[in-house]
Structure 1
Amino acid sequence: MSARAAGHQSHASIHAWLLLLPALVLLVAFTHWPAVSTFVDSFYSTPKGSRAAVWVGLENYRAMNDDPVFWKAVRNNLWFAGATIPLSIGLALVMALWVNERIAGRAFLRMAYFTPTVLPMIAVANIWLFFYTPQYGLLEQVTGALGLPSHNWFGDQSTALACITLVAVWKEAGFFMIFYVAALQTLNPSLREAAAIEGASRWYFFRRVQWPLLMPTTLFVLVNAVINGFRMVDHVFVLTRGGPDNASTLLLYHLYEVGFKFWDTAYASAITVVLVVVLASVALFQFFVLDKRVHYK
């Protein structure tokens, strides 16, 4: 390689790194550095006033292990994620299959299904807060018309978390639907024609042709659904504040309370580390294990 060519390649490399520099600075400043700082803070005590933080080792993690509210939030979050992930993905797939067909009002249906996604989460929570309001809410009006007794949906431990789950499914299904619609539109129309010629039913065509070809999209949607299942805080903050008696407290809301309500930043850092490790492990499992079962075109 001549000196001139080497110099040109060096200038091109410097130019490329300069173009990447703003994104790298933002990534390091707002992602990598906070993650490292949080990990380090989890081994120190919370600084209070003039008293500086001191090394406490695994004390914050021991406190977390002995915290009944933390384990209650873990159980609630597992129940919440276990319900929202399959329901939102399944509903998104059904809606995508429907609006992908040549039906009247298809554009309106797509807009109606996607509308909850573009609404701010706080606005969505306030809308559903009105629906669930005892005696005056829309749901109470419907149940009252059917002769059913009034019920405090967010004030009952047996229904508070289920109500939040319903709101989350309603909010996320439209977002996941867009990815499925895009994937369905990339499928070759000749596949449907060949299936029709062979006399295959719609269910058989979906199970044997469409579903396997949608697996890459499903894997992507599944990763996002898992992350969303463990980062819910807005709806809990507006609808229930974790009540009654922590019946609807989720991990991220518990983290918010510990860090910003009780100002125990060290303990909050320990919870954050555990949450990040769990989510990273699940994401790696999905990509390196489930990805082997995905067939790409």
Structure 2
Amino acid sequence: MEDEVFRKAFINNIWFAIGTIPTSVALGMVLAILVNRKIKGSALARTFFFYPVVIPMVSAAFIWLFFYTPEYGMINKLLTLFGAGELNLLGNSSTVLIAIIVMVIWKEAGFFMIFYLAALQNIPKDLIEASHIDGASKWIQFRKIVFPLLMPTTIFSFVIATTNAFKTIDQLVVMTQGGPNNASNLLLYYIYESTFRFMDYGKAAAATIVVLVIMVVIAAIQFFGTDRKIHYS
């Protein structure tokens, strides 16, 4: 398409996906490993990490809008407290997409943590105990036993994260409206504006097809391209 706004939204969405997908999935795995340990406070930690998931997306967007607000926002209050200057993270075209990415990672990491936690608890303890007897370190146990058995969960999480990355809109409506200068405009918001603001149904339909094709191709690559690396217990 020759639409400059569409190209901008497409590129933004690619960077948004690169920033959110691997980070939120990896962080979810790390959190699951941490809270899976039988130590005091692990149940409270699970609740703390999972709590952002149950907050409605619009409410979460307003919370982070408060964090990012110049002068009165919590982030700028902390910066002022330490003698640093104020930042308008949502008003700067070079930082707005990063600010949205951070918010989405915070929202999604706990979601993937639950899947990884369930997968970790299904790993046969005999395998871990046998490797420990053989003198395997924690890192070797993770690399040779735990991670391969987590691969089905990882593939599933990547597919879900990819879908989420290309259907982000609530945060943009509340926080940026795609600005400034389309720096935070993503494909679904572009479709939304094309349909309901500009009444350009042709562009909206074409962009929708692009989004669907992207998600199908990525899902196919993730499923079939990594099939040989999946181990089932």
TM bucket normalised to smaller? over 0.9
Tell me by how many angstroms 1:283 deviates.
Answer: 1.2
Task: Note if 1:79 corresponds to 2:15.
Answer: yes
Amino acid at match of 1:271: A
- How many pairs are equivalent? 233
Tell me by how many angstroms 1:253 deviates.
Answer: 0.6
> Which one of 154, 166, 182 corresponds to residue 118 of structure 2?
182
Residue of structure 2 in register with 1:125 after alignment:
61
Amino acid at match of 1:95: L
Task: Note if 1:143 corresponds to 2:79.
Answer: yes
User: What's the RMSD between the two structures over aligned residues?
Assistant: 1.0
Task: Note if 1:225 corresponds to 2:161.
Answer: yes
Bigger Rg over Cα: 1
TM-score, structure 2 as length reference:
0.97
Displacement over 2 Å in runs of 4+? none
Residue of structure 2 in register with 1:201 after alignment:
137
Amino acid at match of 1:123: S
Is the 2:191–2:207 contact (alpha carbons within 8 Å) kept by the matching residues of 1? Answer: yes
Q: Distance in 2 between matches of 1:92 and 1:266?
A: 39
Q: Distance in 2 between matches of 1:260 and 1:112?
A: 38
Q: Distance in 2 between matches of 1:87 and 1:289?
A: 20
Tell me by how many angstroms 1:196 deviates.
Answer: 2.0
Q: Distance in 2 between matches of 1:124 and 1:225?
A: 18
Q: Distance in 1 between matches of 2:231 and 2:134?
A: 24
Q: Distance in 2 between matches of 1:264 and 1:147?
A: 48
Q: Distance in 1 between matches of 2:78 and 2:124?
A: 45
Tell me by how many angstroms 1:95 deviates.
Answer: 0.2
Deviations 1:232-285 (A, max 9, x none): 111111111111000010111111100111111122111111111111111122
TM-score, structure 1 as length reference:
0.77
> Which one of 114, 131, 134 corresponds to residue 50 of structure 2?
114
Q: Distance in 2 between matches of 1:159 and 1:103?
A: 39
Is the 1:219–1:291 contact (alpha carbons within 8 Å) kept by the matching residues of 2? Answer: no
Gap runs ≥5 in structure 2: none
Q: Distance in 2 between matches of 1:97 and 1:104?
A: 15
Percent identity reads 48
Q: Distance in 2 between matches of 1:227 and 1:290?
A: 18
> Which one of 265, 271, 286 corresponds to residue 201 of structure 2?
265
